[in-house]
Chains A and B, each alone.
Chain A
């Protein structure tokens, strides 16, 4: 059971906008920055969003992050077939004194 809760799956058609949620508590999302990673099949994770809503260099602005209270979301607009991947949220947990990950969301592009 992951500390952060994500839906196990999400889907959308090409060109659509999809959102993936990440729910936590006051000891993690509620008081710390949120990060999002994308993991393409058979590859290592890649940082998509840091500091709740900042994109590393090279990440297109189709990807955006937001946070409110103890929940966060990743939005992907203009969905493309290559966006089909697993997406993970992560943050620091004050109670555990450790980083924690969500269980991951498998995004399917129909």
Chain B
């Protein structure tokens, strides 16, 4: 079935780095834009980044630009989020989410497939 599965979360010290992964299955991964969305404990949803289907176009929220890097490997049906210079404000559950298909070079903020999330804790 159509599925996204995140991994790589854990405990990291402030200033540290972490790399999250998102494994896709059940659909043609290379056709879709994919997002990273995060949710701090007890808080709402925050868009973090999205990457185009071919990986050439990547956008970031202001809160993470310059510290986080999104990439993908379509041959391995995988998405990645490299997070550097982490702070307490980055502590959250991170979800990867597939954007609705609207064309080969089209981004939709509607997200129809979500992973179960991976939790990042930033603490000394």
Contacts and interface: CB of A to CB of B under 8 A. Distances in A.
Given A44-B116, A100-B47, A91 B59 contact: no
B11 interface: no
A90 B109 contact: yes
A11 to B, nearest CB: 19
Question: Chain B interface: which size bin?
Answer: 20 to 34
B114 interface: yes
Contacts of B46: 101
24 contacts: A32-B109, A37-B45, A37-B111, A44-B95, A44-B116, A45-B95, A45-B111, A45-B114, A47-B111, A47-B112, A50-B100, A51-B110, A56-B112, A88-B45, A92-B109, A97-B59, A98-B47, A98-B59, A99-B35, A99-B47, A101-B44, A101-B45, A103-B44, A104-B44
Given A2-B44, A104-B45, 20 more contacts: A32-B109, A33-B110, A35-B111, A44-B114, A44-B116, A45-B45, A45-B95, A45-B111, A47-B110, A47-B112, A51-B110, A90-B45, A90-B110, A99-B47, A99-B50, A99-B109, A101-B44, A101-B45, A101-B46, A101-B47
